[in-house]
Amino acid sequence: MEEHQLGRDLAPRVATGITAVVLCGFFGIASTYILAARPGPTMVAGAFALLLATLSVQLLHSFARPLVASLRPKRVTLVAQTALTYAPFSFLGKAWLGMPGFLAASTLLLLPAALAWPAFALEVVATDLIELKMGTTLPDVAYTTVATILTALVVYGLSRLSELVAEVHRSRAELARLAIAQERLRFARDLHDLLGYSLSAITLKCELTYRLVPKQPERAQEELTEILQTARQALTDVRAVTRGYRDMSLSAEAATAESMLSTLGVQTTVRLNCGPLPTAADTVLATVLREGLTNMLRHSKAEALEIEAHREGDVVRLSVVNDGVGRIGRIPGAGLTPGSGITNLTVRVEELRGRLHAGVRADGLFALVAEVRLDAAESCARAGRTEPQECPG
């Protein structure tokens, strides 16, 4: 579990780490301007203290904006960074020219767009005016202007990218939890709808039969026969719900999967070239697809999925392939790993004289492959049945 959690959180950590390294690198470059000015030891110590203070505020703006937003008064840290950016020019001069770019980035991060961009432009112009006042030539001013703008945009872009990566990961996890919760609700709803009437009917008929046994045994026997039939139907309904065999369609499941997975950011390719299928085969393959998708959402971090079904004679082959295994840094064995879900699917597929395989392919992708025979499924249709376990052998 800890390994899976680490793999799932790797992308936000990498994005945050890269942004932090770039910020520290920019501040490292700024420190070279201070050293190049050759100030005295006391001035160097003071300059580096100011540099560390500015770096701390910038890291706060880049990685802890919710905390900054909660401070009172609002944007007090932005005011502090403004003071740290412009006040040191009075005694450090050109050695402090690397700092306005960070203030401009913080402005874009913290202010509304209507205020941020005018303030951004004002900070760039203010830096140019300060530089002109210090007697800098126009080519050097132009260079500083471009450097300030690029620094601000790079810091702003990386900071926002780190936030977006974290938000996408949180949204992906939440959508996966919602998908599982929705399936649980569907299961509970189906059980209620299917068994509520049957169990109520059985209860009422049992009470009636109890009263009829002493006086009308023949009528009681008829009621018992009906109770038995209702109980058998209830058992069939329970099996239908638990196994997902209820009016399921491979094409409908694939369309639903493609729509849902697109919201998770999973690139999904669907190719169904098998034509119309008998109900039993359609239901079994739809169940295989649903189970494969459920396992993928629970146990992997797939970014690409391929659903393909094609027909070869009397055999229909469905493959569900995803790249989630490598994404979590753990490669299971290439063979089929026993589990209740896969085991149940194997039984259903074999009842249509087919076979099921799940494992890691040579290219590192995880594949769930099911093959069913249409002649076995058509025997179900001729018998008027839709569930494989009830079909003739």
Give the largest CA-CA distance in the chain. Answer: 117
Instruction: Identify the CA nearest to 288 among candidates 236, 347, 237.
Output: 347
Identify the pLDDT of residue 35: 84
End-to-end CA gap in the chain: 43
What are the φ and ψ backbone dihedral angles of 335, each rounded to 5 degrees?
-80, 180
pLDDT per residue as tens digits for the range 193-203: 556 656 766 77
Chain centroid to Cα 367, Å, comes to 20
Identify the pLDDT of residue 4: 47
Identify the pLDDT of residue 329: 35
Q: CA dist 283 to 46, 65, 346, Å?
A: 74, 50, 14
Instruction: Identify the CA nearest to 328 among candidates 35, 8, 105.
Output: 8
pLDDT per residue as tens digits for the range 133-148: 998 899 999 999 999 9
Residue ranges for the chain with pLDDT beneath 70: 1-9, 186, 189-198, 200-201, 240-247, 260, 263-265, 326-341, 380-393
Q: How far apart are CA 122 and CA 104, in angstroms?
A: 9
Identify the pLDDT of residue 393: 47
Torsion from C-alpha of 172, 175, 176, 179, nearest 10 degrees: -160
Q: How far apart are CA 96 and CA 23, in angstroms?
A: 16
H or E element: which one contains 321? strand 315-322
Identify the pLDDT of residue 1: 43
